[in-house]
Amino acid sequence: MPLTERSIIHVDMDAFYASVEQFDHPELRGLPVIVGGLGPRGVVSTCSYEARRFGVRSAMPTAQARRLCPVGVYLWPRMTRYEEVSAQVFEVFHEVTPLVEGLSLDEAFLDVGASLRLLGSIESIGRRIKEAIRERTGLVASVGMGPNKLLAKLAGEVAKPDGFRRIAAASAAQELAPLPVGRLWTVGKVTEQALHRLGIHTMGELAACDTARLAGALGRHASALQALARGEDARAVTPEQRELSVGAEHTFDVDLAELALAESWLLRHCERIAARARERGLAGRTVTVKLREPPFVTHTRQTQLAAPSAAAPAIYGVARSLLQAWWKAQRHPRLRLLGVSLSGFGERRQEDMFDVSKSHKEADALQDRINERFGSGSLVRAGVLRTRKQD
Ligand SMILES: [Mg+2]
């Protein structure tokens, strides 16, 4: 047995956002459900398997999805709700092992090596996780198992949806051989095309290719890539580390004397930190607003959210109250600096520590692009409009 052989489980919820919507709204079950940005430049975040039958895919422009699937049900994402469900799912993981590496709200690696003696085989642990998630959330998770991260993830992916599959070290090379090279998560579009130009389409062909020839096209990563194509992967599951806070602040060139303007800045900060928290899979409970009067007197105001969140509207809601309360208490309110931070990530922590999951980085980026393009723009506009009305 190679030294690096571990007992790794990869869990990924099937069509997560869309499944939550179908669970919460039973009338949507069996229908093509598309969750994403619904504005003119919106993109699909997640779609149900019913929608996939129409050719709809995540990261596709929503307009294109509407053409492919005009009968679909199109919904904006409800991040706060998805975070709630995610917390339940991660609770299940932590009951099995402390070695949980979250990749996103609905995906994680677990190293269960130390739990085998107590809980049984890797399959019985995997089955237990799948069933507990189903019982507590009503949702379906795909579970992949293997001697390392690469094989566990691939096992789960090839078995999706409702997947349950183990790839053992002994059969890894054989099982990987027919898979397209694009399935390796380190292989992006450019590398994939370079490989295709060399006549390499499958992992088997990649593994068997002459390393020197490969290095000519791909450079020094060639042999590492070949090791992955053979199913070799030495990376450990790295449990998330506590991140203390995520913040944003701005020092104004000209002191700010209008509440409406201060609120617009605050909203922009809140959206930025919400996006950053989500990108790291964090949900925080404590919101702190930092206010500096010219020249250097700094005040902080802090409050707790009802539940940990990484949603801009929730964070902004409490941050704005803090700002307004401070503002009203001043005789001549003036701001040189305004900042806001989110902390208190104790309840559920995830962190994308390695660039292991390209698709998930893309999914997170996608969520934030949606916000950038729509949520953000429309929120800012709504916020500014609201404050103007009050003038
Ligand atoms: Mg998923």
DSSP string, 70-126: TT-EEE---HHHHHHHHHHHHHHHHHH-S-EEEEETTEEEEE-GGGHHHH--HHHHH
Among 229, 253, 273, which residue terminates a domain?
229
227 Cβ neighbours under 8 A, 6+ residues apart: 233
Q: How far is the CA of 15 from the centre of ligand 1 (A)?
A: 5
Answer yes or no: do 249 and 374 share one domain.
Answer: yes
Q: How far is the CA of 362 from the centre of ligand 1 (A)?
A: 12
pLDDT value, residue 240: 66
pLDDT value, residue 377: 37
50 Cβ neighbours under 8 A, 6+ residues apart: 30, 31, 32, 33
Answer yes or no: do 210 and 298 share one domain.
Answer: no
Q: How far is the CA of 106 from the centre of ligand 1 (A)?
A: 5
pLDDT tens string 153-169: 999 999 999 999 999 99
pLDDT tops 60 at residue 387: no
pLDDT value, residue 241: 59
Answer yes or no: do 285 and 384 share one domain.
Answer: yes
Which CATH number fits the domain that encloses residue 188?
1.10.150.20
Answer yes or no: do 256 and 385 share one domain.
Answer: yes
Residue 243 pLDDT grade (very low, low, confident, very high; cuts 50, 70, 90): low
Answer yes or no: do 321 and 268 share one domain.
Answer: yes
**Residue 164, both tokens:** 């349950």
Q: For residue 276, tell me if it sits in a domain.
A: yes
**Residue 28, both tokens:** 């949507």
Domains: count for the chain: 2
Q: How far is the CA of 46 from the centre of ligand 1 (A)?
A: 9
Which CATH number fits the domain that encloses residue 336?
3.30.1490.100
Answer yes or no: do 375 and 271 share one domain.
Answer: yes
Answer yes or no: do 291 and 196 share one domain.
Answer: no
Diameter of the chain by CA atoms?
76
CA nearest to 333, candidates 391, 294, 387: 294
Whole-Å CA distances, 191 to 37, 138, 154, 185, 217: 30, 39, 19, 11, 9
Q: For residue 91, tell me if it sits in a domain.
A: no
Judge contact between 305 and 285, C-beta under 8 A.
yes
Please report which residue ranges of the chain form alpha helices under DSSP H.
Answer: 16-24, 49-52, 62-68, 79-96, 116-119, 122-137, 149-159, 172-176, 189-197, 203-208, 211-218, 222-229, 259-279, 312-329, 358-370, 377-390
Answer yes or no: do 279 and 386 share one domain.
Answer: yes
Q: For residue 284, tell me if it sits in a domain.
A: yes
pLDDT value, residue 50: 97
Judge contact between 9 and 165, C-beta under 8 A.
no
Answer yes or no: do 341 and 252 share one domain.
Answer: yes
Q: For residue 261, tell me if it sits in a domain.
A: yes
Q: Which residues sit opposite 293 in a β-bridge?
A: 297
How much of the chain, in percent, has pLDDT values that exceed 70?
Answer: 86
Q: For residue 367, tell me if it sits in a domain.
A: yes
Answer yes or no: do 370 and 251 share one domain.
Answer: yes
Q: For residue 344, tell me if it sits in a domain.
A: yes
Q: For residue 203, tell me if it sits in a domain.
A: yes
Burial class (CB in 10 A: 0-12, 13-18, 19+), 332: exposed
Q: How far is the CA of 12 from the centre of ligand 1 (A)?
A: 5
Q: Which residue numbers are catalytic?
A: 107
Q: How far is the CA of 130 from the centre of ligand 1 (A)?
A: 14
Q: For residue 366, tell me if it sits in a domain.
A: yes
How many angstroms separate the CA atoms of 269 and 212, rounded?
50
Q: How far is the CA of 60 from the centre of ligand 1 (A)?
A: 16
Judge contact between 19 and 49, C-beta under 8 A.
no
Answer yes or no: do 262 and 339 share one domain.
Answer: yes
Answer yes or no: do 385 and 260 share one domain.
Answer: yes
Q: Which domain holds residue 286?
A: 245-349+357-390
pLDDT value, residue 5: 83
pLDDT tens string 17-51: 999 999 999 999 999 999 988 888 788 989 999 99
Judge contact between 204 and 178, C-beta under 8 A.
yes
pLDDT tens string 165-212: 999 999 999 999 999 998 887 777 888 888 999 999 999 999 999 999
Question: What backbone phi and psi angles, to 5 degrees, belong to 172?
Answer: -60, -55
